[in-house]
Every structure is written in C-alpha cells, then in structure tokens.
Structure 1
Amino acid sequence: MSGFGFIGRSVELAFLHRRLDQVTRQVHGTALAIRGRRQVGKSRLVQEFCDEAAVPYLFFSAIKGAAPVDSVSRFCRELAESSLPEDPGLVSLLESGNWFEAFKILASVLPATPSIVVLDELPWLAEQDPTFDGSLQMAWDRLLSRRPVVLLLLGSDLHMMERLTSYDRPFYGRADPMILGPLNPAETARATGLSGADAIDAQLASGGLPGILRGWPHGMPALDFIRQESAQPVSPLFAVPEATLMAEFPSPDIAHRVLEAIGSGDRTQANIAATAGGPGGALVSGTLSPILHKLTHDKRVVAMNEPLSTRPGKPALYHVADSNLRLYLAALRQTQEESRRGRPEVGFRGVERRWSAWRGRAVEPLIRDSLAMAADGLPWPETTAVGGWWNRSFKPEVDLVGADRGPVARQVFFTGSVKWLDGEFDGHALRAMFEASAQVPGVVPGRTGTVVVSRSGMAAGVGPVDVHWGPEDIVGVWPV
C-alpha cells in the first residue's frame, strides 16, 4: 500500500496556524467557515491542524437527521471528554436540545489560553434546528468571541455553507470563508509515487480525493489501480462517488436525470434536454435552465464553459466538475455493477475501452487551470482567463485560448491545442491548430501566441510554437 499519510495542504495549514497566532496575540476569538465537497479532506485537515497546534480542542461531528435533543446531549458529552475543560465535572449534560445553553456551557469551560472548537457538518445541525444559526450568532457575540478561541465551522453542503455567512443570515460578517478543493496534481503525484502522465491519470481517476488516494499502492498506474479495485465493489473508487450521488440526489428526480445526461457525455443544453427528457420529449428550457443553475451554482457538481474570445459566443458547454464522479457516471458505475455480479474483468474492460477517449476530454479543464496557474511564467503574464473556443457547429473547436478576462475578452494572448492521445504532436496537428485558431475572434495571425500541450511530445522538426508543455510541466506548476 502507499502508506498515505497527510499529504500537501501546506498553504491551508499555514493559514490556520496564522489564525491561531492571531488569537494568541490579540486574545479574542476568530471564526472560519470551511467548505468543500465530501471526501475532499476537510475533517482530516482540521484534525492535522489540531494535532500540530497542541492546544486544547473539541472536535464535534454532527449526525445527519439526529434530533436537536440528541445532538445537544452528545455535544455536551463530547465536550466533557475533550481536552478543553480543566474539570470535566463542570460540564452539564443537557437534555433540553437548546443550543444556546450548550454554547454557554462551552464558553464557561474554555481555557484562558488559546483553544480550538470544531463543528463538523454544520449544515446538518442547521437542518435539525431552525434556531441553530441564531443561537450560534448570539453565543459568538456575547460569549465565545471574547475568548482566545479558533472556531472552525465545516460543511459539505456548499450552498448551505455559503448561506451561513450571507448578508441575510445571523452569522453574517462573523466567519471568514475558506474553500477546500481536492489535492492538486503535484500532491497526488506525491501521494501515489507517480510522475508525469501517470500522475495526471491518477488525478483524473481519483479526482484528487484523499479518500480514494489513501488506498492507492505506491507507483501503480491508474488503469492497473482500476483493474485491482474492480474486484471490490465497495472500494472507495466506487463508494465515494456513489455516496456523493446518494447525498446530493437522494431521490431520482429531474435534477438527477440531468446530471446523468451530462455525465454520459452530453455537453450542450439542447443535447442534455433531449437525453434527460421523458416520453413526452425533451425537457423544456423553463424546466432545464433552473436545474442547470442549481447544479452549477448551488451544488457545484457541474461546471459550465462558454467560448472565450473577444465576442460573445454560444453554446455553453457543461461537464461534471469532479473527474472521479465524471468517470463513475461514464464507466465506473457499470464496472461496479459487474463486480457485484462477480464479473470484475467484464466491468474493467468497459473502462479500458473508454479510457483513452474519456481521458482526452477530461484532462482539458486541468490543463487550462494549470496554464492559468502558471501565467506569470508564460510569455503572457497578463493572462487571467484560460478556456476554449467553438462556434455553433463545433467546426472547429479550439482547445486553448488565453485572454485578459472571460468569457468576453478585450485581448486574446494565445491559442493552442491539446493532444492527449497516444502519438506525438505532428505537422498535421500543427496545421490544423493554426487553421482553427485563425477563426477565433480576437486572434491576430503572426502576433497571437501559440501553445501546444501534448502527452507524448512533439515530432522532430515540428514548430515553432511559443510554448510546448508535456505532463511534467502540468504537474510542476502546482505546489506540494
């Protein structure tokens, strides 16, 4: 096994330690609302912080669907058993379900020295008790913020966590937001012992989720890992995306059908409407548009891309934001079903057939993010937006467009191509790239830059291009 410990998160840990230092110096509290999707490692990050900080702390995790009486009672019991109170006997074991009273007890046992209080899966507490937000706000203002405590509020429901600190909610202005994303490609490379193209494959298959990477054998390529896990239908490779679907879409409603359509490869609103429709025909725009808005802006499970150029363009394209969930919907779920029927090899062959084409499309958002990350080191440091461009007929599609803003730019700095299939980027691919790029509004032939990103390098004598990246360049721009 990989011996996966705590990998990466150096930036996030440093941020948390700075907050603790601030509390130590100023002797008053600070609150952070940490949000990120399930299995992204929020609880693990915060536990690592608590261990490193070596100060008294309480780590309380909510249980979905629990009654307020049960939650408050368990909170008090865990408070008494934590390292916060000097005398556990001072903690009253409430049976009232009153969160303000529970927070009063918490305040009464907080030490005079710095401490940490963690409330994990906060949205579940707010679901159970509509007065929870108000009780937390009142307790923070009157009691907790006056003590040297770091209050960490964690949640996987991104929309609910955003609402916690929105202007119309009681806790507005009291907690700073912190967004925790998946491990980046460099962190995944370190966790798996892979490099270059193999590390990127691992990033795409796992989505950078620690819950999956923790069981990844050191140095094992992605397809070999998938083959190994195919014999275990309860493997995190399958269980993590399956749990995400069950949590986000507990009933088979229209939103679930729309996500399934996007996961199957349909990218435009028209194609999604046709696939997600029923016997009566395609979904009408009045039904589909708010669902797409919910999936992209509230749940954040879907990403939307618009053509990037100096003119507005259509149509928008949609894809499943998390590459592990994307692979699950496209192929891994069928593999899981075959495994449950005792036919893991049949299931794996389905992934193997789709892998090359799926990977070629799934890697594009990662490459664009990597180029945007590295903009200061490119010939065009003013680049702030990296996307793609296409017209209504998708003839052509340009993989890479770098500009000063998006989706409607003032200036296009570069265009380019991604070749992630086997085989070098050759002269034919270069000519096709130049012909396609010439159609992008804002491109000036001879002045707009060119970028090629290829998995297998460039053929001898092909060029010139301004920037050529391989897999090592993509991994190398990310911090560990």
Structure 2
Amino acid sequence: MEFKGRAADLQLLGRQLELVRAGAGATRGQAVIMTGRRRVGKSRLVQEFCDRSGSPYVVFQATRGRNAVAERADFAGVLAQSAVPGAELVAGLRATDWNQALRSLAIALPDDVPSIAVIDEVPWLVEQDAEFEGALQTVWDRHLSAKPVLLILVGSDMSVMEALQSYGRPFFGRATKMTVQPLNLADVRAMTRLAAADAVDALLITGGFPEIVQSWRPGMSRRDFLREAMANPLAPLLVAGELSLLGEFPEASHSRAVLEAVGTGERTFSAIAAQAGGARALPSGTLSPLLNTLQAKRVVAADLPLSAKADTKNKRYRIADHYLRFWLAFLQRGMPLIERGRGDLALERIERSWTTWRGRAVEPVVRASLLRLLPDGRWPETEAVGGWWNRQNNPEIDLVGADREPVAGAVHFVGSVKWLESQPFGRREYDALARDVLAVPGTGPDTPLVAVSRSGVAGDLPLAAHWGPEDLVRAWE
C-alpha cells in the first residue's frame, strides 16, 4: 500500500540520520525514543524511513508475553538475517543476557558507513526483563554510541517510554524524544480529497489513524463511508478501537470503566465516578490515580477554564484522541448490531446523535488549529486558546484567547463555535456571546468577540475575527 503523509516525521528522522552521517553530534551514534498512541503508524513510519534511507538497517519487534530467553534468541536471529554488513559475524551466537545481545548488535553494525537499528515495542522488553534498561545504557555508552548508527527505540505505552528518559533512569539524557501523532487535518483532507468541512468530519471519525483514513475512498461522503463500514464487522473503523484498548486496558478493569464513562460523555469527576462505579460510585482514592494514569498515557485529557482567575478544581475530562472518542460514543455499543447484520440500525443511532456529538467533539480541533494560526498580526501575544465554564456550565464559553495558561495575564478575545451544515453564525449566537462575555474573569465591555463557523457568518456582525473550515485546514498545511 502506498505510503502517504508523514512528511514532517520523515524529515525529522532524516535530520537525525544526517547528524550521524556528518558526525556532528556529541556522540557518533544518535538515539531517538519514538512514542505515540497504539496503531498510530509508528512501525510503518520507521519501516518507510529505513527503506528510503539507503542505509543498512535492522528492525526487531518484541512480542508481548514472551519470556526473555526466547526474546533474546529471536533478536539474535533477526540480527543474523539482516542486511547489516557484520550480520554473519554474530550468526549462531547465543546471548545469556541483554548485555550480550546488544553487544552483538554493536559487533554487527559497520564502523565506516551509517546504519539504522530499530527496536520496536520496547515497553514489552522492559516488562519482561528488569535488566534491559541497564544493559541498553551500558552497551550504548561503551559500544553503540561510538558507531555511526541511528538507534530508534519505539513503543506505544507513552508513560513507559517517557519514563525511559526521565532523571534517575539508566538511559536518561542519551536520546532525543519524538512523538508520532495521528495524521493531521491537512493530511486527512489530502488523502480523502474532501471539502475542508467534510475533512473535519473525517478527522473526528477516523482520528487520523492511517489504516482507517486509507479505508476512506477519495471523495466518499461521511454517510457512505459509515454505511460501508457498518456492513463489514472487520472494517478498520470498527476493529481498531477494540484492538487499541485491549492492548492497554483489559475489559474488566476499572481503567476501562473510567474510559467508557468519559467516552460516553461524562466530563466531571463526580459524574465519572458515578458512571464508572456501577451500583456505587468509585471512591476518590480509586478514581484519582486511574485518571492520572490515563492522562499519563495520553488517552484522557483534562481541561481547566482559561481566564485571569485560577480555577484548578473545575476540571473537565475528555477522551484525548478523536477516533477513540467516536468509537466509545457509537461503535462499541453498535458492534452487536453490526455483527448480526444490522449495521443499518447502528448507523441510524449515529445519525440521530451526530450533530450534537460533533458540536462538542470539534472544539478541541478548533482550539488546536487556532493555536497554529496564532499569534498573528491581530493578536501578536496570543499563545493560549481554551474555553471557560463555571460549575453550573452556565455560561459555557467555547473559545478564550489569552497570553498564557492555565491562568491568563490578559484575555485577548472570547468566542463561540457553531458547526452546523446549513446555519451560519448569526445574530442570536452573537447576542448570546455578547451577553456572556463578562462572566469570564479578565474580560471587559471592549473584549473582542470572535467566531468559528462551518457555514460562515451572517450579516454585518461586529466580530473581531471569524474562521471557517478552510482556515482550520490551512493551519496544518
């Protein structure tokens, strides 16, 4: 399948390989810790980079649950069969620990030309053998860092991968961090060949996960794409969510229950506790560490109101990636219908709730896009874009632009998001925004008002600025 997108990621890896070629780093070898959500395309990206590089390379992928002896044997076998020049030197070697296994990698790699070594699913190696991290540090310091090699360590458990480079851990300070994000809005539009507004819908449904975006035939409407997926229980749109979740969160776990509560629309701590606990609400001592872990894994995000007044106790939780939010809201409970051939009923459920669900789901996309468009000439100091709400969510402001977060020194604008196919941002929405603006601490009667609308802005409303779908796509180009 043709590889599309990821130009910036390939360029970033290319720069690291160029450091190796030029010998311009602090050490001859360079290391990269690559992380990102499961199924976001890290392994495919690394393979494409290796194939394009023109350098000899070896790629080893760990297997979860395998014992360390079998894993080291597999590592040795992959190395011996690879195209690196010294592979025959280590053929038949049997490593009794990871120190020996990684030293055999150093022996096989050339001294005179740049090469690439990839170790994929590193968290599983850390899980299998507590000595792996220390061995990696030792062999890197004594052998690998002196070779012209780009070492890429890949893993989906973001908390484990970030811990690898934290202070006090063996590999601290030895690698550059790289986070692989889902395909962005501009990539999704290019691959689906949709109008800008429809590309936003496609992003909310696919999350930018490459295997799902590639299943969206160019020019296909949202409804047609969903209808086709609902007719096939093995469609990537349906199976990727469960595979992703099962990789990290067993079905019976409290973490899974918390995820499902947030995914079905609960946003406050108390509401999540009640929903996830079933008959009895989860105790605070149980829920707090679960939410902290989910945030560390970048699965759940917590937002605070953005204004000139601190409000650290008024958090709102949401699923961090768009696809998982869509899957938990609609597809998880629709799977029994789809599996018995009634995908039409599952599609009807989505259609009934689509407009309401999308209205809130699009807000993080809008804020992230505006952060890429700002600062600009109109607001040269705007470096934070969030929302604002009180405990009663009355009012709830979609957009607040400020100089910093979570507590603003100055609020630069307040705005509203209206994301409907046929209704522009009109006088009613403007009047509501003008009425509510003074509720936001740090605003005044002259605070500029802005809007983001799928269908444009009606009349001669005195807005300081407004953005539409094309602007959001442009932010990512």
Specify the TM-score bucket, using the shorter chain as the normaliser.
over 0.9
Q: Give unmatched runs, 5+ long, in structure 1.
A: none
* Secondary structure at 2:439 match in 1: coil
* Secondary structure at 1:312 match in 2: coil
What letter corresponds to residue 23 of structure 2 in structure 1? Q
What letter corresponds to residue 426 of structure 1 in structure 2? G
* Secondary structure at 1:438 match in 2: helix
Partner of 2:346: 347
Q: Determine if contact 2:95/2:101 at 8 Å carries over to the other structure.
A: no
Q: Determine if contact 2:265/2:329 at 8 Å carries over to the other structure.
A: yes
The verdict on how the C-alpha distance between 1:120 and 1:260 changes in structure 2, with shifts beyond 3 A counting, is same
1:249-398 correspondence runs (5 A) = 249-279=249-279, 281-296=280-295, 298-313=296-311, 314-377=313-376, 379-398=378-397
How many residues align? The count is 471
Give the drift of 1:396. 0.6
* Secondary structure at 1:14 match in 2: helix
Q: Determine if contact 1:70/1:97 at 8 Å carries over to the other structure.
A: no
Q: Determine if contact 1:58/1:84 at 8 Å carries over to the other structure.
A: yes
Give the drift of 1:97. 4.5
Partner of 2:221: 221
Distance 1:289 1:436 in 2: 32
Q: Determine if contact 1:68/1:97 at 8 Å carries over to the other structure.
A: no
Q: Determine if contact 2:76/2:94 at 8 Å carries over to the other structure.
A: no
Partner of 1:58: 58
Partner of 2:79: 79
The verdict on how the C-alpha distance between 1:400 and 1:72 changes in structure 2, with shifts beyond 3 A counting, is same
Distance 2:54 2:130 in 1: 34
Distance 2:241 2:122 in 1: 21
Distance 2:286 2:386 in 1: 28
Partner of 2:47: 47
Deviations 1:419-463 (A, max 9, x none): 0123111111110011111211111222x222100111112x241
What is the TM-score with the length of structure 2 in the denominator? 0.96
Deviations 1:239-264 (A, max 9, x none): 11111111121241222211111111
Q: Determine if contact 1:92/1:105 at 8 Å carries over to the other structure.
A: no
Q: Determine if contact 2:375/2:383 at 8 Å carries over to the other structure.
A: no
Partner of 2:452: 453
What is the TM-score with the length of structure 1 in the denominator? 0.95
Partner of 2:70: 70
Distance 1:89 1:477 in 2: 50
* Secondary structure at 2:302 match in 1: strand
Matched, 1:472 2:456: no
Q: Determine if contact 1:69/1:95 at 8 Å carries over to the other structure.
A: no
**Which has the bigger relative contact order, CA under 8 A and spacing at least 6?**
1
What letter corresponds to residue 464 of structure 2 in structure 1? D
Give the drift of 1:290. 1.7
Q: Determine if contact 1:426/1:462 at 8 Å carries over to the other structure.
A: no
Distance 1:441 1:221 in 2: 42
What letter corresponds to residue 25 of structure 1 in structure 2? A
Partner of 1:14: 11
Partner of 1:436: 436
Distance 2:319 2:368 in 1: 15
Distance 2:2 2:403 in 1: 39
What letter corresponds to residue 285 of structure 1 in structure 2? S
Distance 2:435 2:92 in 1: 73
Deviations 1:95-142 (A, max 9, x none): 444221111211112112100000011111111111011111111011
Q: Determine if contact 2:306/2:386 at 8 Å carries over to the other structure.
A: yes
